[in-house]
Chain A
Amino acid sequence: DAKTTQPNSMESNEEEPVHLPCNHSTISGTDYIHWYRQLPSQGPEYVIHGLTSNVNNRMASLAIAEDRKSSTLILHRATLRDAAVYYCILRAYSSASKIIFGSGTRLSIRP
C-alpha cells in the first residue's frame, strides 16, 4: 500500500505563508491526495484534495508535483487557528479500505 511521509513538526509566523510537504513516492495512478487537519482532542477536518492538477479553495491550496510523488499544502496567510496536526492521506478512487494516514505534521504558529 502506498504510504505518505511528512515532517514531524513545523513552525511558522502568524500572517506568513506556510508550505507543508508530503512525499508519496509509491502513489498509484488512481490515488487521490487528501489533506485533513486535527485540533487537540477533536476529530479531523477536511482541508483539500486533488488528483493531478493544483487545487485551490477558501482554506488552502494544494500543489501536486508533475510526477505526483510529492505534494505541498499551502496556507497563504497563517493564523493562530491554523495550529493543528496536518495529515496527508492517499485514497484510492474506488476502495474505502485503502485509507492510509501519514504521520502528520504538527504545525505551530508564532504570534
Chain B
Amino acid sequence: DGGITQSPKYLFRKEGQNVTLSCEQNLNHDAMYWYRQDPGQGLRLIYYSQIVNDFQKGDIAEGYSVSREKKESFPLTVTSAQKNPTAFYLCASSSSAGGTDTQYFGPGTRLTVL
C-alpha cells in the first residue's frame, strides 16, 4: 500500500537530548513537509523540501533540523535548542510543492519531553 509512515508513534525525551523523528513515503513524491501541532491548535510548518538534497525553513524552524538524502525519507531532528518541543509532529508529502497539489499526511508522532 502506498502512503506515509512515521515512527515512533509516541516518543519520550529528557530535557537536553536531541531526538530524531522518522518519515518515509513510497508515493514517489518530490515534496515533503514537517508540521508541528500543539493541543487545540492548527498546524505550523517547520521545514519543507521540494527535491532531494534541498530544504527550506518554514515558519518555526528554530531548534529543528532536517535532511533529505533520499527521495523517500525526510527525518526531523528536534534539538536541545528547541525550548518547548512537546507537541504532535506531522509529516506530509505531495507530488510537487505547488499550490494545486494535495498533501498526504502521516499518522503523526507525539513527542513528550520529561
Contacts and interface: CB of A to CB of B under 8 A. Distances in A.
A24 interface: no
Interface residues of A, number: 24
Chain A facing B: main interface SS: loop
Given A41-B108, A97-B56, A97-B58, A49 B100 contact: yes
Interface string B1-28: 0001000000000000000000000000
Contacts of A93: 98-100
Given A97-B45, A97-B56, A101-B42, A43 B97 contact: no
Contacts, number: 61
Interface string B74-114: 00000000000000101010000111101111111010000
Interface of B: 4, 31, 33, 41-45, 48, 50, 56-58, 88, 90, 92, 97-100, 102-108, 110
Q: For chain B, what secondary structure do more than half of its interface residues adopt (helix, strand, loop), or is it mixed? A: strand
A102 B110 CA distance: 21
A104 B102 CA distance: 18
B99 A43 contact: no
Nearest to A87: B42
Contacts of A44: 43, 90, 103, 105
A68 interface: no
